[in-house]
Chains A and B, each alone.
Chain A
Amino acid sequence: MKHYLDFEKPLAEIEGKAEELRALARENADMDISAEVEALDRKAEQLLSELYRSLDPWRKAQVARHPERPHTLEYIEALFTEFTPLAGDRGFGEDKAIVGGLARFNDRPVVVMGHEKGADTHSRIERNFGMARPEGYRKAVRLMDLADRFGLPVITFIDTPGAYPGRGAEERGQAEAIARSTEKCLRIRVPLISVVIGEGGSGGAVALATGNRVAMLEHAIYSVISPEGCASILWKDAEKMRDAAEALRLTAQDLHALGVIDRIIPEPVGGAHRSREEVIPAVGKAIEEMLAPLEKLAPEEILAQRRRKYLEMGRKGLAA
């Protein structure tokens, strides 16, 4: 069963009809309905590209959170070889909301990590829907330290609603863990490349996304607060999330205009989940293009470049 978003309802109808016709044709071999099916397919395709040509920010947020959207582990499995997951913060536990380890990217050894939301009910619960606890960020710090000591580039995939707001997480120092992780991002002398593949949720995202180069998928979002959270605070009405999404300027296009991200990676028509074969290699190509020039720099220069980037950030406003 395909998952359709609210605004994709008309599309669901057309694609459903085409599917019914196909099923009918399979049962009755003498029926010739290929012309009708083709017409429906064309109509669906047209509607899809129309819908996705101008997604408003709230729709983008929905696409970014689409349950079938490829998540971190899928990218790691497709783009990396010899992936060897490493676990634990050496203090309290192993947080499955952040995956990471050693791997090879186009043959070179790297440290790769990211938030993992999970792909079905079981794994989603196991991964806590990609919402990390302090252990997750402390593991990230440990892995970045490892990368720094052995001169391995770090590649991070960002996909989280935010850090987990729970009692235990607070007691074990969620804020401190995030602060240390961001600090570590800024301290390592190896290239750090981040790709926001779905949701970049606030501090929980920044903790892994403070990179030399940051890219976003075309329909990904990256924001200081979720549209729902912002709406309930500033509009006193969580139902105003459309207005909030608009006002927050959380799309890849807005962030690029603001100079917060370096690059937008195009998605297939209908979003990343409609064609993994297209989007995953596109992400791989973008990472390679961002990483290669940085590898030529001296370690101190890599660190200095990252700091300059953030110190200078926010000088330009967004026109209109």
Chain B
Amino acid sequence: MNWITNYVRPKINSLFSRREVPENLWKKCPECGTMLFHRELKESLNVCVNCGHHMHITPRERFKALFDGGIFTEIEVPQPVVDPLKFRDQKRYPDRLKAAQKKTGEREAVLVVEGEIMRTPVVAAGQDFSFMGGSMGMYVGNAIIAAAERAVERRLPLILFAAAGGARMQEGILSLMQMPRTTIAVEMLKEARLPYVVVLTHPTTGGVTASYAMLGDVHIAEPGALICFAGPRVIEQTIREKLPEGFQRSEYLHEHGMVDRVTDRRKLREELVTIIRMLMRQPPAVRGDLPEPAAAEDTASAGKATQDKSATKKGAAAGNPAGRNG
């Protein structure tokens, strides 16, 4: 959904036929079939108000709701070499990248930001499953490292919202090398004794699960999320037997000791702050007199501003690709 389908088209439609309800104002819950009004859905963070099914949410939407007043600043991620292997399957990799950028309006599959949640300053990184399946390539690796470095520098906790189909095949071995690289990022946090909380969202699989997503101090999963190393289809092909109901879903992982908690997205904000403030030995969060996070309309433009700024910086960074560790 973009502003044209969301705003302009309904407006134009309403000029011609006032009675017709534009269909894009409503979304059907894929789980229970309830029709959900878009404003209601936004308010419930894309969670079905009827059955509690958690639908996809982009990191930007999530952060707008998570941070006080919807305000956060983006942290710049060093741009790696684009298409290092000159990878081509049925499409060229740069074309796939461009298509994903056009579709999502984002530069890559992860967003790294800094801000306050209930007046608790944190660094957060969110993976975007709608961007090439949230796959982990060099940019995502750089982003996780940049997030950890910023957290260490400012002595802040890091919250990671994981979502990924795995490694980005189009970057071949270099995507695989993001497993050790992101693990080093986690090590930096551990050595600095800073909390690293992982929120596992639907789906988190493959090399991402087998590196930074499973190395948190606390693991929280959103309900019903698929979290695994090898996906159910691969396993069914290997062992040729049907897998049990709910296999590799959050609740199943909770039962098998892989995650600490399964928490509704609508309650995550409170829970994250509670945990982080204890780990940081801070007094309990002040509740009640905080600005409502809903007043986020001007943040959209604030977010854009930081993005533009990073775009200009990108040129400078590209000239000095080795600068990031310097």
A residues neighboring B (CB under 8 Å): 163, 165-167, 169-176, 178-180, 182-183, 185-187, 202-203, 206-207, 210, 222-225, 230, 233-235, 243-244, 247-250, 254-255, 258, 260, 307-308, 310-318, 320
Contact = CB atoms under 8 A, between A and B. Distances in A.
Contacts of B176: 202-203, 206, 223-224
B97 to A, nearest CB: 14
B214 A167 contact: no
The bracket for how many chain B residues form the interface is 35 or more
B207 A317 contact: no
Interface in B220-237: 227-230, 234-235
B183 A311 contact: no
A315 B207 contact: no
A230 B187 CA distance: 31
Contacts of A170: 228-230, 235, 247-248
A145 to B, nearest CB: 16
Nearest to B188: A307
A279 B38 CA distance: 65
Given A178-B210, A247-B88, A248-B173, 15 more contacts: A167-B241, A167-B243, A167-B247, A175-B228, A179-B183, A202-B167, A202-B207, A206-B179, A207-B210, A223-B176, A224-B169, A224-B175, A258-B173, A307-B184, A314-B81
The A interface, classified by DSSP as helix, strand, loop or mixed, is helix
Contacts of A248: 85, 169, 172-173
B37 interface: no
Interface of B: 80-81, 83-90, 138, 141, 145, 167, 169, 171-177, 179-181, 183-184, 186-187, 206-207, 209-215, 227-230, 234-235, 238-239, 241, 243, 247-248, 256-258, 321-322, 325
A317 B174 CA distance: 10
B231 to A, nearest CB: 8
A163 B229 contact: yes
Contacts of B83: 317
Contact of B177 (A243, A260, A317): A260
A166 B229 contact: no
9 contacts: A163-B210, A166-B235, A169-B230, A179-B213, A180-B214, A182-B179, A224-B173, A250-B172, A317-B81
